[in-house]
Structure 1
Amino acid sequence: MSTDQDSRTTNGELTDPCLFHHPKVNTDVLIVGAGVAGLSMAVLLASLGVRAITISKHTGTAPTPRAHITNQRTMEIFRDLGIEEQVLAVSTPLKQLGSGVLATNLAGTEIARYSCYGTGSHQVSNFATASPCEMQNVSQHELEPILLSAAREKGADVRWATELVHVENLPDGIKGRVRERFSGAEYEISARYAVGADGARSFVAQELGFTFEGEHGLKSMVSAWVEADLTRYTAYRPAAIYWTMQPGNDSWVGSGTWICVHPYKEWVLNWQYDPADGEPDLSDSKVIGHAHYTIGDKAVPVRVKAVNKWQVNNVVATTYREKNMFLAGDAAHRHPPSSGLGSNTCVQDAYNLAWKLALVLSGRAGQRLLDSYHEERQPIGRQVVDHAIKTLHYMSRVPSVLGFWRGQTAEEGRKVMQELFSDSPEGSQRRSALTEAVYLQNYRSNALGIQLGQRYKSQAIIDDGTAYPESTRDPILNYEPTTHPGAYLPHAWLEHQGRRISILDVVGHGRFSLIVGISGAAWKAAAEGLGLGIDLSIYAVGIRCEYDDVLGEWTARRELSEHGALIVRPDCHVAWRSYDLPQDPSTALKSAFSHILALDETSSS
């Protein structure tokens, strides 16, 4: 069977063509797109009590696996939203798929293997101590229904088969015209703000003239979702991804990449094609033939569930905000799936923006707070795109190191493979080169610093005049926790009322937090007199405090005296810190919140 990349099946969603025949609908936020980014935004806004309508031209959630790597930061967000257990129920922990395997084919010669997702002996402690959560392998078609269910449980209005056909970005809000695809009926939705989360072919971005930098169409790819029992060739070396590269193949560049959906019988098989040769053959027979070629065993039954084609892009929006419209997810940043950062960045975009919209809409924050979404997330989008492209190039080095080239005969390919593993000076040199090339794959699969080390600079962060701690290790591969303003609050295990909890379980939940220590009473008295109307929770964290630092982990990571304090935003980033108890904590807090919430602004942005 064959489907276009952007098409969706009903997937359990029933759409009544007689619904929503309204001449005009008003809401606070219009969310365009109901993929990972749009549904995450819907869950978050509903949790915060914001009126929002989410529309999607599709008839239901993603029908195919697509994105699958879910890192610790995203799992922390799901934990905050109360859906971690539901996600775990459909996931495979990545520590169970902790190898990266390169082979000529699955039944053939193994070229190299390395440890992924923090499973290596030198990586385990880094990943384990960085977060209360573990990385998961959960495919998009199983994740999106969980997000949808959570959104609807919280009262979200999600409308399928409803397409945006026109949008205006007006001084006082957004006006959109939508069409119900089944009935053809059109109606108007007016909103104070809108979020374009409508994917890599974003209608919103195109219609409103958002500009982008980078390149489209770097590679053309085919993905096939298949059932094939590959236990014999994979279970003894469990991996989320198997790369096959065969000599003597005219399309040796990524002959086939097997991505595990469910061990070890459900997969996505990716391969590259050249548009200059015409449209790829997406027939079942062609897919099965390619599957057998990359397996190396024609006796394995293969069932094709879906096939689509797509492009590798290297693109990021130059701005994430144009007046009352925001871009999120793939609408804002488009990059290859290498490094598995795509869906994670989508969720994290929504986590950054939702609470800001809620505060501005309720009048508890100034318009300038919304500018911080672009200031904080656009540099992260650029970083993620650049990193994904870099790791794609790192993988493309491997065939040349192996001695493969386009147009090579099968006999020439066999000779270079024999030499690679031979007891000869040439073989030794080539194995050394291969070892170096394989080490670079750590930047794809073990980039803990990229995943957890995101740091914000914006008007919603108050720098304290100190420098970030200097990196003592590779900052891409290693996460270095810090409470410096702009950083994500470091994880530390605490004890509270006889339970072990992470400090990340304490903060978040849609509200600001004030983390204090032994001088908590003075800080609490100061906070109670603020009168800002925001949800502010105060937590005393330290040795024998209410949140007891029994292991000393928080003391080691807080970078404050026992009398200091942190303001932690609803998205768990540190907004402000005071190393010690100031002479007038009330004035210090009031000044900090006034700046963070843009309450001191003299004009709207």
Structure 2
Amino acid sequence: MASNQNESPNGQSSDKGDIIETDVLIVGAGVTGLTLSLLLADYGVKALTIAKHRGTAPSPRAHITNQRTVEIFRDLGIEQDIHAVSTPLTALGNCVMSTSMTAPEIARYSCYGAGVHQLSDFARASPCEMINTPQNELETVLLARAHEKHADIRFSTELVAIEQDEEGVLATVRERLTYAEYRVRAEYAYGADGGRSAVADLLGFTFHGDPGLMNMMTCWIEVDLAQYAAYRPACMYWIVRPGNAFWVGSGTLITVKPFKEWLMNRQYDAADEPDMSKEAVIEYARSLIGIPDAPVRVKDVSKWQVNKMVAGEYRTGRVFIGGDAAHRHPPASGLGSNTCVQDAYNIAWKLALVLSSHAEDQILDSYGQERQPVGKQIVDAAIQALYNMTRLPEALGFRRGQSEEEGNAALAALGSDDPVAEKRRAELAGVVKLQDRRSNALGIQLGQRYSDSCAVCYDGTPFPAHRRDSTLFYEPTTHPGAYLPHVWLEHEGRRVSTLDIFPFGTFGLIVGVGGGPFVAAAQQVAQETGIAIPVYDVGYRCTYNDVLGEWRTVCEIGDRGALLVRPDRFVAWRSVDRPSDPLQALRSAVRHILGLK
């Protein structure tokens, strides 16, 4: 159930008629806004979050939570809370294709790291596993933890106007229940208000791409299908029937809670509005299930459009956008909410440093430099995955407008002992294999590299070339601008990941057995900048003992080298060997990253 929060949890009034002063105004309290609210509260940054909706998401919507996002939740201390409302994707590790839930299946493939040939790649890449987390459950956890941190989050409050100057941002907001208006003055503002972002519209952010490519309807339904699903547990059951050549075929049934709650997605023509009544939804659901009297309960119905859009810039003056406000794409590949969380994770520590006067405003430019290319990448990947799906009906011999008899005959012929059928089966196998780029895209999920950022001190070397398909496979590197690789270490008798070394929100310096001179250098730079830079020795018989020898294979530095890691776990600077003057080298790198002269 959606949470209703019309007043600040810390007891502050709406200050009607007054101007509320805050450091950051966050517009939108979905996945992006709630994540940023929680992060800033953890950093001790004063923020006000408003959202026009009455509460958190009323239906599951997004659901795929990838390993990188779970790592962020791990850093925030809510990994177990998220797991409690999720299903491991290894337990839903298939995609099943058929003409109905009760009909013989056409094809099946393993996905999200659940296949025997995928398990090791996913397990090596992260200490965390992929999970299926309904968006309404995710937002509830984020909101509860944000309230624990005394974050000021106000629902039923919409943005009316926003302007900015060199000194800050001034917004007018309206309480939708009382129609009372008041103003908010902030140092910075962040638009996390979704695909119809008022912030982006009012401040003239530019967008590239194509809106309104397709029209979709999503229905949250309840029906017990364990008899037809439990023996072939899947995250998605893809229903393709004769006479329907839409990109999702006749529809998809997405597992929300095995195997009783589902999201039913279907495409419709804009010129032929769908019947959204409960009776019509139930009838359509029964047709996909294949049982005329299946006891279906409708919990929610909504319409939306498939877009291919990414913002040209993520910053205009003192205002930023992120999440769906900045990148708008179909849910194919499950990249949406993950990128939302990661956008917030990227900017939160930078805002905290600037607002505490430990970094110059310039560091905030790196948010767009880093995240805009990622936004474009995931939009392109999602659209490509969508078009890859359109090839399935064609491979089955289905075409729009054909009779059911014609379609069934084409499907039956696919299984015949005929040279033509053998060729068609090979084509079908190729189309099914192509879906790996949708559901097993480990490289897209984890392999983000920031190649042009003012918050990274590059070493003049190129990123390592990919040895395998960069969409399907993640290849770790410690090159500046890459995410710190995960390997298991031993520390004080416990197994820990390299990602677990650093406390929340801190920089850290990783050194090897010869890294002693960096300790004094880090202490001196920390004293000069006010930024704590703890040093962690990692390697053979070090405090963080590389007992398996795995760090040595991925660290790409010598025993006398060093890695400076940012609060978001990206490598900010690297010294492959010990420089002649460790203090000056580290000082120069840190000052560059912070934008200090």
- Tell me, in whole angstroms, the C-alpha distance in 2 between the residues paired with 1:365 and 1:18: 30
**1:185 maps onto 2:185 in alignment:** no
Change (3 A) 1:10 1:127: closer
Change (3 A) 1:13 1:225: same
Q: SS state of the match for residue 235, structure 2?
A: strand
Q: Determine if contact 2:247/2:386 at 8 Å carries over to the other structure.
A: no
Letter in 1 for 2:62: A
Deviations 1:344-364 (A, max 9, x none): 000000000000011111111
Tell me by how many angstroms 1:155 deviates.
2.0
Give the alignment of 1:61-460 within 5 angstroms: 61-249=56-244, 254-277=249-272, 279-457=273-451, 458-460=453-455
Tell me by how many angstroms 1:252 deviates.
8.3
Q: Determine if contact 1:242/1:258 at 8 Å carries over to the other structure.
A: yes
Tell me by how many angstroms 1:447 deviates.
0.3
Q: In the alignment, which residue of structure 1 is the partner of 2:535?
A: 538
Tell me by how many angstroms 1:13 deviates.
3.9
Q: SS state of the match for residue 334, structure 2?
A: coil
Q: SS state of the match for residue 472, structure 1?
A: coil
1:490 to 485, 510, 529: 485
Tell me by how many angstroms 1:520 deviates.
3.0
- Tell me, in whole angstroms, the C-alpha distance in 1 between the residues paired with 2:78 and 2:500: 13
Letter in 2 for 1:91: S
Q: Determine if contact 1:18/1:183 at 8 Å carries over to the other structure.
A: no
Q: In the alignment, which residue of structure 1 is the partner of 2:567?
A: 570
Q: SS state of the match for residue 536, structure 1?
A: coil
Tell me by how many angstroms 1:254 deviates.
2.0
Q: Determine if contact 1:116/1:442 at 8 Å carries over to the other structure.
A: yes
Query: Which moves more between the two structures, 291-300 or 249-258?
Result: 249-258
Tell me by how many angstroms 1:248 deviates.
3.5
Change (3 A) 1:40 1:76: same
Query: Which moves more between the two structures, 505-514 or 588-597?
Result: 505-514
Identical pairs, percent: 58
Tell me by how many angstroms 1:232 deviates.
1.1
Change (3 A) 1:408 1:18: same
**1:511 maps onto 2:506 in alignment:** yes
Deviations 1:544-582 (A, max 9, x none): 111111111111110010110000000000010001111
Q: SS state of the match for residue 390, structure 2?
A: helix
- Tell me, in whole angstroms, the C-alpha distance in 1 between the residues paired with 2:427 and 2:164: 54
Q: SS state of the match for residue 275, structure 1?
A: coil
TM-score normalized by the length of structure 1: 0.96
Change (3 A) 1:147 1:456: same
- Tell me, in whole angstroms, the C-alpha distance in 1 between the residues paired with 2:6 and 2:584: 55
Q: Determine if contact 1:252/1:405 at 8 Å carries over to the other structure.
A: no
TM-score normalized by the length of structure 2: 0.97
Tell me by how many angstroms 1:21 deviates.
3.1
- Tell me, in whole angstroms, the C-alpha distance in 2 between the residues paired with 1:250 and 1:257: 13
Q: SS state of the match for residue 59, structure 1?
A: coil
**1:28 maps onto 2:18 in alignment:** no
Deviations 1:509-546 (A, max 9, x none): 11111111112321101111112101222111111111
- Tell me, in whole angstroms, the C-alpha distance in 2 between the residues paired with 1:234 and 1:375: 44
**1:595 maps onto 2:574 in alignment:** no
Q: Determine if contact 1:246/1:252 at 8 Å carries over to the other structure.
A: no
- Tell me, in whole angstroms, the C-alpha distance in 1 between the residues paired with 2:344 and 2:376: 17
- Tell me, in whole angstroms, the C-alpha distance in 2 between the residues paired with 1:507 and 1:490: 13
Deviations 1:282-330 (A, max 9, x none): 0011101110111111232100001000000000000000000000100
Letter in 1 for 2:498: I
Segments of structure 1 that go 5 or more residues without pairing to the other structure are 1-8, 601-605
Letter in 2 for 1:271: R
Runs of at least 4 residues off by over 6 Å: none
Tell me by how many angstroms 1:508 deviates.
5.4
CA RMSD of aligned residues (A): 1.4
Tell me by how many angstroms 1:145 deviates.
1.0
- Tell me, in whole angstroms, the C-alpha distance in 2 between the residues paired with 1:581 and 1:543: 17
- Tell me, in whole angstroms, the C-alpha distance in 2 between the residues paired with 1:267 and 1:533: 51
Instruction: Tell me how many residue pairs correspond in the alignment.
Output: 591
Q: Determine if contact 1:56/1:160 at 8 Å carries over to the other structure.
A: yes
Q: Determine if contact 2:160/2:174 at 8 Å carries over to the other structure.
A: yes
Q: SS state of the match for residue 534, structure 2?
A: strand
Q: In the alignment, which residue of structure 2 is the partner of 1:6?
A: none
Change (3 A) 1:466 1:107: same
